[in-house]
Structure 1
Amino acid sequence: MAPIVHEFDWPDRFVVGTVGVPGARTFFLQARDGQRVVSVSVEKEQSFALAEKIDEVLDELMTEDGNPYSIPALADEALVDEDPLDTPIDEAFRAGAMSLGWDPATGQVVIEAFPIVEVEVESLEELDEIIDLPESLPEQVMQVRIPVGAARAFTKRTRDVVASGRPICSLCGLPMDEGHVCELPDGFR
């Protein structure tokens, strides 16, 4: 069966947002085009890594002679979406793998999210057989194509959302909860 592709080309909105309180938040990639909204749950680390990689791709493209795609160095504040996620939030799937690409013909960043696929295998040979089967295709895929200005705005918002969680302890590097106690490195008392 062919996968359901949630395709968004120049969506009205594409953001990372959260539901819940710091320490117990669920992160979502959410795309909207008109009345159609698709939400995919992601890990906090996936969100941050996606923002990092998008910025890396855009920074690299900026170094091309003459910056042929007019890639901005920073996000245009007017494009940064600070609104909460659209509700109701109906999770289409939980993202496992994600891919990032660049379409030079349209000057768009292409983001794809694929669901976690769980399989039980008893040997590596069995895993190879499962991977080669057409049935191993994901049931759903989210594909979003956004222009460079929207991509910079996406990365700014994503970094802000990730940073709005629990503060990080400067000594141990772990999130600080109420009553946080950490092990001090040797030499500190």
Structure 2
Amino acid sequence: MAILVHRYDSPDRFVAGTVGQPGERTFFLQAREGNRITSVACEKQQVSVLAEHLERVLDEVRRRTEGAVEVPPASAKAHDTQPLDAPITEEFRVGTMTIAWDPQADRIVIELFANVDSDEEPDTAAEVAATELESAEVEADEVFVVRITPAYARDFVARAQALVAAGRPACPFCLQPIDPTGHICPRANGYRRPLFDQ
């Protein structure tokens, strides 16, 4: 089966962004190169994990190359704070993500694979482990491949972290997001009480 590849070897822009209000936001990863734009939908947690792993890869590259590759230090503020480019057309929903370092080009390679629904669900933990071992390669019909410089990756991380932090506040007891309409904390066994005494 042929796989459709959306490849950006030198994107003008690669960012995480959202559409909607906190609590109802849809997260996207988007790349633009010239007039070509690709947007893929993902979960908030995937954006957070991608940023966290990019930071680890950058720190490791800096450590291993001992300054031979220019890797800027971590930044708390992103340079690119503009909204996503329009039109935002979802190509697919992200399932598996991979990150690699290309030493020949001194770039980070990010692969985002389309979410693939499996027809058969394994019954036991042993079957799950066997299935994972058998499928060493990711099976997907679409992939989004982006190659970015370390400086661009640092900016992506700063923007992604700010984006994730801008969501709904977390409950101090159960750490789940608090909806604008209220929150029933499972740690309170369904009992509703104000978070702070007034």
The 3-state SS of whatever aligns with 1:82 is coil
- Whether contact under 8 Å (2:76, 2:158) holds in the other structure is no
2:101 maps to which residue? 102
**Residue 64 of structure 1: SS of its match in structure 2?**
helix
**Structure 1 equivalent of residue 54 of structure 2:** 54
State the one-letter code of the partner of 1:180: H
Unmatched 5+ stretches in structure 1 = none
1-side partners of 2:21 and 2:63: how far apart?
A: 40
Question: Is the Cα contact below 8 Å between 1:55 and 1:155 reproduced in 2?
Answer: yes
Q: How far apart are residue 141 of structure 1 and its match?
A: 0.6
Q: Which residue is 1:23 aligned to?
A: 23
Q: Given that residues 108 and 147 in structure 1 are in contact (C-alpha distance below 8 angstroms), is that contact kept between their aligned partners in structure 2?
A: yes
Shift of 1:23: 0.6
> Pairwise mapping of residues 125-144 of structure 1 onto structure 2 (< 5 A)?
137-144=139-146
Structure 2 counterparts to residues 93-172 of structure 1, below 5 A = 93-121=92-120, 137-172=139-174
TM-score, normalising length: structure 2: 0.82
Q: Is the 8 A contact 2:41 2:92 kept in 1?
A: yes
Give, in angstroms, the shift of residue 59 of structure 1. 0.9
TM-align CA RMSD: 2.6
Instruction: Return 5+ residue gaps in structure 2 as ranges.
Output: 190-196
What secondary structure does 1:22 align onto? coil
% identical aligned pairs: 44
Measured against aligned partners, the alpha-carbon deviations of 1:146-178 in whole angstroms (never above 9, x if no partner) come to: 000000000000001111110112232121123
The answer for the alignment partner of 1:13 in structure 2 is: 13
User: What is the CA-CA distance between 1:63 and the residue it aligns to?
Assistant: 1.6
TM-score norm. by structure 1 comes to: 0.85
Q: 1:144 to 1:65 in 2, by over 3 A?
A: closer
Closer, same or farther: CA 181–137 of 1 in aligned 2, 3 Å: closer
The aligned length equals 180
- More moved, 99-108 vs 58-67: 58-67
Question: Alpha carbons of 1:118 and 1:65: their partners in 2 closer, same or farther (altered >3 Å)?
Answer: closer
In structure 2, relative to structure 1, the CA distance for the partners of 1:36 and 1:170 (3 Å cut) is: same
Matched, 1:36 2:33: no
Superposition deviation, residue 108 in structure 1 = 0.4
How far off its partner does 1:80 sit? 2.2
Letter aligned with residue 88 of structure 1: P
In 1: Cα distance, 2:23 partner to 2:65 partner: 44
Matched position secondary structure for 2:7: strand
